Amino acid sequence: MTSTLGIILAVSLMIIMFGMGLSLTLKDFKQVLIYPKAVFIGLFSQVIILPLVGYLIATSLDLSPTIAIGVMLLAASPGGATSNILTHLAKGDLALSVSLTAITSLLSIITIPIIVQFSLAHFSDQSQVVSVDGATMIKQLFAIVLFPVSIGMFIKAKFENFALRMEKPVNIASAIIFILVIIGVIFSIRDVFMDYLAEAGIPSIILNVSTMVIGFLLAIGFKLTKPQAISISIGTGIQNGTLAITLATIALNNAEYSIVPAVYGLLMFISGATIIFMRKRLGVKEVATS
């Protein structure tokens, strides 16, 4: 990985997280008090079930260390702005989705270093051993995740009209940046990408589909509303691929670990579009809880 690519990735993620911050307010965190059961189930699905499923996939499929660590990086990265957009289009509970995004972004400062350290220790072979300083990773996560989100929230609170005008163009820019990031990463590892593509595709699909199904069934099992179940399903199954790619290239300094997140980034919109199509086709009339 070149230092230029690392800088581009960091700046790209900061722009995406800033755009997410423009859609957040402190009121979003109050959802914990308003809908504690829904928030708890959503957090449990994203923070506990998602990494566990990732670990089961990585071990049961006998993946290479590179792909196994990529799966765990992806599973460690909570849903981002994309999950909020897909939730809205699928007529899910947008307020719940945004709240879960806000809370998991804060928790990621703690959960990501733990999961990454475990994954490296468990899956790395001797030729791939990477020493990761937990404190350094926390600082990196603060700089590229929490800081831009906080700036976005500050602007939303102080200049709401401006934030509302900027939210759509920033979201569009974020989507374009996400696509360019995937293209850039694939180009940077083009020599090995095709070798790992077949191996990375299956775990990416399984992780995406299985976690969406588990999140939905768990929500329904606890008698949450359909819109809440949709929000939890998408939030659990749609991970922040850009964050996973950035962690691979900057924190771990190994762009090959980003193969799974890159492949996943190309596949996740298929499952998201499927849910949206099914909701519209069935003529769902529920309105997302606000």
SS3 (DSSP) at 177: helix
Separation between Cα atoms, residue 62 and residue 193, nearest integer Å: 19
User: pLDDT, tens digit, for every residue of 114-131?
Assistant: 888 888 888 876 444 455
**Mean pLDDT of all residues in 200-211:** 89
Q: Which two tokens stand for residue 33?
A: 């008090």
Alpha helix positions (H), the chain: 3-21, 31-34, 36-43, 50-60, 65-76, 81-89, 94-123, 134-141, 147-158, 160-188, 190-221, 226-237, 241-246, 259-281
User: pLDDT, tens digit, for every residue of 44-81?
Assistant: 999 999 999 999 999 998 888 889 999 999 898 877 66
Q: What is the pLDDT of residue 129?
A: 47
Report which of residues 97 and 218 the model is more confident about.
218
User: Which CATH number is associated with domain 3-281?
Assistant: 1.20.1530.20
Residue 122 CA, distance from chain mean position: 22
Separation between Cα atoms, residue 275 and residue 229, nearest integer Å: 12
Which amino acid makes up residue 1? M
Separation between Cα atoms, residue 236 and residue 170, nearest integer Å: 24
Residue 101 phi/psi, 5-degree rounding, is: -60, -45
Q: Which two tokens stand for residue 207?
A: 């992780």
* Residue with tokens 């199954």, as numbered in its chain: 237
Q: What is the pLDDT of residue 287?
A: 43
Does residue 290 register a pLDDT over 70? Answer: no
The 3 state secondary structure assigned to 49-108 is: HHHHHHHHHHHHCCCCHHHHHHHHHHHHCCCCHHHHHHHHHCCCCHHHHHHHHHHHHHHH
Q: Which two tokens stand for residue 243?
A: 């964050």
Q: 102 pLDDT band (50/70/90 cuts)?
A: confident
* Domain residue ranges in the chain: 3-281
Q: What is the pLDDT of residue 28?
A: 64
Say if CB 249 and CB 1 are below 8 A apart: yes
Q: 178 pLDDT band (50/70/90 cuts)?
A: low
> Considering the chain, what percentage of its residues have pLDDT values greater than 70?
77
SS3 (DSSP) at 24: coil
For 2-16, 35-49, 145-159, 275-289, which range has the lowest pLDDT when averaged over its residues?
275-289
Q: What is the pLDDT of residue 51?
A: 93
- Tell me which range, 20-29, 171-180, 187-196, 253-262, is most confidently predicted by mean pLDDT: 253-262
Query: What residues have CB less than 8 Å from 193, skipping those under 6 apart?
Result: 186, 259, 262
Neighbours of 22 (CB within 10 A): 25
Q: What is the pLDDT of residue 262?
A: 79
* Residue with tokens 């859609």, as numbered in its chain: 23
Separation between Cα atoms, residue 226 and residue 221, nearest integer Å: 11
User: pLDDT, tens digit, for every residue of 12-28?
Assistant: 777 777 877 777 777 76
